Amino acid sequence: MRGAAALLAAALLLAGAAGCGGDGAEPGAPKRATLVLDFVPNAVHSGIYAAQQRGYYRDEGVELTIRQPGESTDAPKLLEAGRTDFAILDIHDLGIARERGLDLVGVMPIVQRPLASVMARKGDDPVRRPRDLEGRTVGVTGLPSDEAVVDSAVSADGGDPAQVDRVTIGFNAVASLAAGKVDAATGFWNAEGVALRRRGIPIRIFEVDRYGAPPYPELVLTASRRTIADDPTLVDATVAATSRGYELVADDPKGALDDLLASVPGLDRDDQAAQLRALGADLRPAPFDPAVLRQWAAWDVEHGLLERPLDVERAFRLSP
């Protein structure tokens, strides 16, 4: 949902080129690599920061630089151009990039199920289920994936998505729902949903995989096929260290939270702790499930995000 809006500053493009894997380092030295996040750092990235803080990447022979997004990032193009070695992409953005001819490959799921949801504010005339959104105002960011989430939730509950009044609110779901400007809004249940509940705003959350969508991995660690072909050892090492980081998150969330906050000091501890609790076991690493990926690709076609189903064996690295 957010991948198309999470952008990297143009000034980082040249810096990123200097930090990519093929850097001519001395034999035996850690290989430098860069990873561009999909959004500003938060709990969903905790495994990456834990792996960096605890030296897991260096254990695997990788010196990883994590780049936060800024206002001009097009992460798929950075990958294709070799300006970054890895990026976290929203799975829909990965599919769209491949349809546009960019030979990018998902190498590891970061979270094991969709984060997308429709959040409805409780009130005197509450929305109790998705089909109750007929005739109501639903805030969307303007991204096509939001439309798919609304359509899926309402139709899966027996409603008519065409009867939903949608208004573009950008990434302002929390403020819009808090002020009562919309009856519902799209957002991530682990982020906006947590923020609303922490503010004491009564809401119901309709998670998209409970209403029509398959349990696809929302965020995917991605590399170009060129990187995979030219330096498979770098890819294997980065996946191994990242997986180890997310195992730590599952086994020691407090320690992983400390690592995240040490890396990004401006984050609020209570907010990030609440997000980690919400994510729970969904952050424990697991391999891609080809059957689920095929269901996801069909779902994206059904809802107009893709023109045709992807060849998941080409779009994802299903085995090392």
Higher pLDDT, 279 or 13: 279
Asked if the model's pLDDT at residue 137 lies above 60, the reply is yes
Judge whether 88 and 36 are in contact, CB under 8 Å: yes
Question: Of the candidates 190, 210, 230, which is a domain's last residue?
Answer: 210
User: What are the pLDDT digits (tens) for 300-309?
Assistant: 999 999 999 8
**Helix or strand or coil: residue 224?**
strand
CA 86 vs CA 25, 65, 174, 305: distances in Å: 19, 10, 30, 23
Asked if the model's pLDDT at residue 259 lies above 90, the reply is yes
User: What are the pLDDT digits (tens) for 36-64?
Assistant: 999 999 999 999 999 999 999 999 999 99
Say whether both 22 and 84 belong to one domain.
yes
CATH number of the domain bearing residue 16: 3.40.190.10
Domain that holds residue 236: 12-113+216-315
Question: Of the candidates 210, 241, 274, which is a domain's last residue?
Answer: 210
Burial class of 6 by CB neighbour count within 10 A (0 to 12, 13 to 18, 19+): buried
Say whether both 309 and 259 belong to one domain.
yes
User: What are the pLDDT digits (tens) for 139-169?
Assistant: 999 989 999 999 999 999 999 999 999 999 9
Q: Which of 207, 161, 155, 210 is nearest to 186 (CA)?
A: 207
Asked if the model's pLDDT at residue 6 lies above 50, the reply is no
User: What are the pLDDT digits (tens) for 55-109?
Assistant: 999 999 999 999 988 765 699 999 999 999 999 999 999 999 999 999 999 999 9
**Cα–Cα distance, 14 to 138 (Å, whole number):** 40
Asked if the model's pLDDT at residue 21 lies above 60, the reply is no
Asked if the model's pLDDT at residue 22 lies above 80, the reply is no
Q: What is the pLDDT of residue 41?
A: 96
Residue 318: count of CB within 10 angstroms of its CB: 16
Say whether both 241 and 292 belong to one domain.
yes
Question: Of the candidates 151, 184, 210, which is a domain's last residue?
Answer: 210
Q: What is the pLDDT of residue 123?
A: 76
Asked if the model's pLDDT at residue 4 lies above 80, the reply is no
Higher pLDDT, 19 or 303: 303
Asked whether residue 2 is domain-assigned, the answer is no
